[in-house]
């Protein structure tokens, strides 16, 4: 779709533009095939298609030619059809006077002696790659993006993804809380990629493979959104190299995610849900399943029978690993019903045992506080809610072969027959540098340790025996880097607004150690159906002083005019993505229709909480059953497929369409009030390949 015109690409004579075709193709193989002799240049020079002339570096990329000004790191691109695009403005903090530019192999090199930086520009798979390496600790704010006057929309991988018109008044104002923000690419953004639509069927994709110590900041200039990446070059954290990959695209709102999916595939880092199912057939139970956490009697065999009799054919059922976990008979009943069952656990926190200490924060003697992550000043890194400490993955890895701490914990939690496992935090990307003398660790090492231990849960090798017991593994708000070791995640489906936290904890204006100034969300009582999960909350339930902030936060998270499936475009068919577990479907009644339609459009499950002690339990089960019956055949048809197309069918973006695989499933959702092409407002039509459309109008089944 051309965002400037508001027309769907499906209406054009050339046919619908598919997401998988968003990268423009340029036959550069011939130019890149011949490796020419390295040549230092004062005048023109060439190496494998690279040209250095007049102090500028020109490289052939897919769709045109990129030109870098080493003096400032400004990048422009000349497209095949003659357009000039600004790919990046000069670096926000000048890199300094460059040294001599030389061309060699498939790229060009130069240095910035005053800053201790060396630069290399090259081409890989049609992308421009620029790598900067530092010989000292420093920072660089670059690239500076969205500055081309033709820029019309910013694609930001916050949660599932957003496409924001650059001149949108809401997103340029303080109401959206975007301008002035700086989001860490390794933990706060779900993909290390962003993009811009430049109108006229053009766009630019930006990838930052070196996402650790890299962030993306957003500013507003003249009422238009622009972004600036910043990298910290740290010897102690082993982040002295910084790479950014640039691609020309057709401007699709999901083009940057298509580019990133291809980058993962090219580098052997794209997982396959089909392969995971072949390796562990239990994983196949995720297809068609909604997700729910159970309390009270819904953890029991009798509760399972009630869910099954309600028509819920498939379900991932989670429970706290507390003092009353599901018993073997309960797990067996769930397994017989076709459900997956898994405990909630975390390897992240350590605390002294006390009356209020969560069971998963209690470890055998010698772990706490010895395994605490230590900050540069030697003090422990405070743990969740400032209690205890975060535990070092390096300390666990060093101890695991002898003490089997993680293996013993896991074995104890799945002794009831559970075939799934939810490991909180590990894939969320809050990585730590550990300064402890006994277990020093960089953030990259922390990530590698987490991947290793999650991989052991997935393949069953955690057990250390010849008879492996693989688990269907999920984690919290999974960054794309964890896609190969996970079967599902809870959280990356939610584009979290920072105001969600005061909404949940009740501290909008008061300090955390003071009484709450707003109790609308609810707390952790009653024990078998805590209000924080089960109590529905509307904007009008909050204190008058907070309602505008709540309404703006929900607009930033759920307004379908801004939502786009970046995460699904990159990773659908690799893992199953779900919203945050503390935001079950019933928690935000005013968003039910949008959330249900988005789930069907993106082919992603909804999540629920269940308890027979909840006074809305019958309604919860009824809504779960009705929506899951509609969803199950759609997800079974397309859950292992790539999302190949996303389109806006109306200029106001209220009617949207997705295609999965080679038309394995086509879904059209109408988020508006008026009918469009026979589809009523507030409804979705889904058509499996070779089948007939099936319609869902959430208002008919939810309340």
Cα(495)–Cα(561) distance, integer angstroms: 13
**Mean per-residue pLDDT, 131-151:** 98
Dump the DSSP string for 479-495: -GGGTTT-SEEESTT--
Confidence tier at 322 by pLDDT (50, 70, 90): confident
Give, in degrees to the nearest 5, the angle at Cα 98 between 97 and 103. 170
Smallest Cα–Cα separation from 244: which of 195, 201, 203? 195
Cα(554)–Cα(179) distance, integer angstroms: 17
- The answer, yes or no, to whether residue 20 has pLDDT greater than 80, is no
Cα(428)–Cα(432) distance, integer angstroms: 12
- The set of residues, in sequence order, having a beta carbon less than 8 Å from that of 336 and lying 6+ positions away, is none
Structure token digits, residue 604? 């992603």
Least confident of 24-38, 83-97, 203-217: 24-38
Confidence tier at 76 by pLDDT (50, 70, 90): very high
pLDDT at 43: 37
Q: Is the Cβ–Cβ distance between 668 and 679 less than 8 Å? A: yes
The region, left, alpha or beta by phi > 0 then psi within -120 to 50, assigned to residue 234 is beta
Cα(291)–Cα(308) distance, integer angstroms: 14
- The answer, yes or no, to whether residue 190 has pLDDT greater than 90, is yes
pLDDT at 105: 76
pLDDT at 47: 53
Cα(100)–Cα(121) distance, integer angstroms: 14
The answer to whether the predicted template modeling score (pTM) of the entire model surpasses 0.85 is yes
The DSSP call for residue 9 is G
Give, in degrees to the nearest 5, the angle at Cα 417 between 416 and 423. 85
H or E stretch covering 406:
helix 405-413
The DSSP call for residue 338 is T
- Distance set, CA 685 to CA 196, 311, 591 (Å): 30, 22, 19
pLDDT at 37: 25
Confidence tier at 368 by pLDDT (50, 70, 90): very high
Cα(575)–Cα(191) distance, integer angstroms: 14
Structure token digits, residue 146? 């969205």
Higher pLDDT, 5 or 420: 420
β-strand pairing of 64-69 with 56-61: antiparallel
Structure token digits, residue 502? 């005061």
H or E stretch covering 118:
strand 117-124
Stated length of the chain = 703
pLDDT, averaged across the chain: 92
- The answer, yes or no, to whether residue 3 has pLDDT greater than 50, is no
pLDDT at 468: 86
Cα(695)–Cα(83) distance, integer angstroms: 43
Structure token digits, residue 500? 């969600």
Cα(109)–Cα(130) distance, integer angstroms: 10
Cα(187)–Cα(432) distance, integer angstroms: 11
Q: Is the dihedral of CA 177, 181, 184, 189 positive or negative?
A: positive
pLDDT at 593: 98
**Mean per-residue pLDDT, 641-666:** 98
CB environment 191-216: b (16+ within 10 A), e (fewer): bbbbbbbbbbbbbbbbbbbbbbbbbb
The DSSP call for residue 18 is P
pLDDT at 88: 98
**pLDDT tens digits for range 216-235:** 999 999 999 999 999 999 99
**Mean per-residue pLDDT, 165-188:** 97
Confidence tier at 48 by pLDDT (50, 70, 90): low
Confidence tier at 106 by pLDDT (50, 70, 90): confident
Give the CB-side neighbour count of residue 403, counting CA atoms within 13 A: 14
- The set of residues, in sequence order, having a beta carbon less than 8 Å from that of 193 and lying 6+ positions away, is 157, 205, 206, 207, 208, 256, 257, 259, 260, 566, 570
Terminal C-alpha separation, the chain: 34
**pLDDT tens digits for range 268-294:** 999 999 999 999 999 999 999 999 999
**pLDDT tens digits for range 515-554:** 999 999 999 999 999 999 999 999 999 999 999 999 999 9
Smallest Cα–Cα separation from 95: which of 246, 245, 219, 242? 242
- Verify cis geometry, omega within 30 degrees of 0, for the bond prior to 696: no
**Mean per-residue pLDDT, 245-253:** 98
CB environment 489-520: b (16+ within 10 A), e (fewer): bbbbbbbbbebbebbbbbbbeeeeeeeeebeb
Q: What percent of the chain has pLDDT over 70?
A: 93
Confidence tier at 467 by pLDDT (50, 70, 90): confident
β-strand pairing of 56-61 with 488-490: unpaired
pLDDT at 321: 82
Cα(439)–Cα(370) distance, integer angstroms: 10
Cα(599)–Cα(595) distance, integer angstroms: 6
**Mean per-residue pLDDT, 417-441:** 96
- The alpha helices in 272-327, defined as continuous H runs, are 273-279, 301-309
- The set of residues, in sequence order, having a beta carbon less than 8 Å from that of 527 and lying 6+ positions away, is none
pLDDT at 374: 98
Residue whose entry in the numeric block shows the structure tokens 């005013």: 590
Higher pLDDT, 355 or 667: 667
The DSSP call for residue 89 is B
pLDDT at 6: 35
β-strand pairing of 84-88 with 102-105: unpaired
């Amino acid at each position: 779709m051309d965002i400037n015109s508001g027309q769907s690409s499906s209406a054009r004579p050339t046919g619908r533009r598919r997401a998988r075709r968003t990268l423009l193709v340029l036959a550069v193989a011939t130019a890149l095939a011949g490796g020419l002799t390295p040549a230092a240049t004062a005048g023109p020079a060439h190496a494998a298609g690279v040209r250095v002339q007049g102090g500028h570096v020109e490289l052939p990329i897919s769709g045109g030619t990129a030109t870098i000004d080493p003096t400032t790191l400004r990048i422009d691109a000349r497209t095949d059809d003659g357009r000039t695009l600004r790919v990046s403005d000069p670096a926000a903090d000048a890199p300094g006077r460059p040294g001599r530019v030389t061309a060699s192999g498939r790229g060009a090199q130069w240095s910035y002696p005053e800053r201790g930086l060396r630069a290399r520009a090259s081409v890989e798979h049609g992308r421009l790659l620029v790598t900067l390496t530092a010989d000292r600790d420093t920072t660089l704010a670059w690239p500076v993006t969205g500055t081309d006057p033709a820029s019309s929309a910013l694609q930001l991988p916050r949660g599932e993804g957003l496409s924001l018109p650059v001149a949108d008044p809401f997103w340029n104002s303080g109401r959206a809380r975007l301008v002035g923000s700086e989001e860490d690419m390794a933990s706060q953004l779900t993909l290390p990629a962003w993009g811009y639509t430049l109108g006229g069927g053009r766009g630019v994709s930006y990838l930052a493979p070196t996402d650790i110590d890299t962030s993306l900041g957003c500013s507003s200039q003249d009422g238009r959104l622009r972004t600036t990446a910043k990298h910290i070059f740290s010897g102690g954290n082993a982040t002295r190299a910084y790479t950014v990959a640039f691609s020309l695209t057709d401007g699709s709102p999901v083009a940057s995610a298509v580019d990133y999916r291809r980058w993962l595939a090219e580098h052997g880092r794209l997982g396959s849900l089909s392969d995971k199912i072949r390796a562990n057939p239990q994983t196949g139970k995720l297809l068609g399943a909604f997700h729910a956490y159970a309390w009270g009697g819904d953890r029991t065999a009798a509760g399972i029978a009630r869910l099954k009799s309600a028509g819920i054919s498939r379900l991932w059922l989670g429970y706290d690993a507390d003092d009353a976990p599901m018993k073997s008979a309960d797990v067996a009943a769930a397994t017989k019903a076709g459900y997956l069952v898994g405990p909630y656990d975390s390897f992240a926190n350590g605390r002294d045992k006390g009356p209020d200490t969560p069971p998963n924060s209690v470890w055998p003697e010698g772990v706490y506080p010895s395994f605490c992550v230590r900050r540069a000043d030697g003090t422990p890194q405070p743990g969740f809610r400032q209690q205890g400490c975060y535990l070092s993955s390096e300390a666990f890895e060093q101890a695991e072969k002898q003490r089997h701490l993680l293996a013993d914990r896991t074995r104890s939690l799945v002794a009831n027959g559970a075939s799934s496992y939810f490991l909180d935090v590990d894939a969320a990307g809050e990585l730590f540098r550990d300064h402890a003398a006994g277990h020093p660790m960089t953030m990259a090492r922390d990530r590698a340790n987490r991947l290793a231990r999650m991989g052991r849960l997935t393949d069953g090798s955690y057990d250390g025996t010849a008879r492996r017991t693989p688990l269907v593994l999920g984690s919290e708000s999974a960054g794309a880097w964890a896609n190969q070791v996970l079967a599902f995640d809870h959280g990356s489906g939610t584009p979290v607004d920072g105001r969600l936290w005061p909404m949940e904890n009740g501290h909008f204006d008061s300090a955390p150690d003071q009484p709450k100034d707003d109790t609308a969300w609810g707390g952790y009582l009653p024990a078998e159906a805590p209000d924080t999960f089960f109590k529905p909350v509307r904007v009008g339930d909050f204190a008058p002083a907070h309602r505008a902030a709540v309404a703006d936060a929900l607009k930033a998270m759920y307004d379908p005019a801004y939502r786009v499936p970046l995460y699904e475009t990159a990773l659908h068919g690799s893992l199953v993505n779900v919203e945050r577990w503390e935001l079950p479907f019933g928690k935000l009644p005013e968003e039910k229709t949008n959330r249900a339609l988005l789930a069907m459009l993106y082919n992603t499950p909804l999540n629920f909480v269940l308890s027979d002690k909840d006074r809305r339990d019958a309604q919860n089960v009824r809504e779960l059953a009705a929506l899951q019956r509609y969803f199950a055949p759609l997800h079974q048809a397309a859950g292992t497929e790539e999302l190949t197309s996303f389109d806006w069918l109306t200029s106001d973006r209220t009617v949207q369409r997705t295609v999965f695989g080679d038309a394995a499933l086509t879904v059209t959702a109408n988020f508006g009030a008026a009918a469009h092409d026979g589809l009523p407002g507030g409804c979705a039509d889904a058509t499996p390949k070779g089948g007939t459309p099936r319609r869902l109008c959430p208002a008919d089944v939810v309340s």
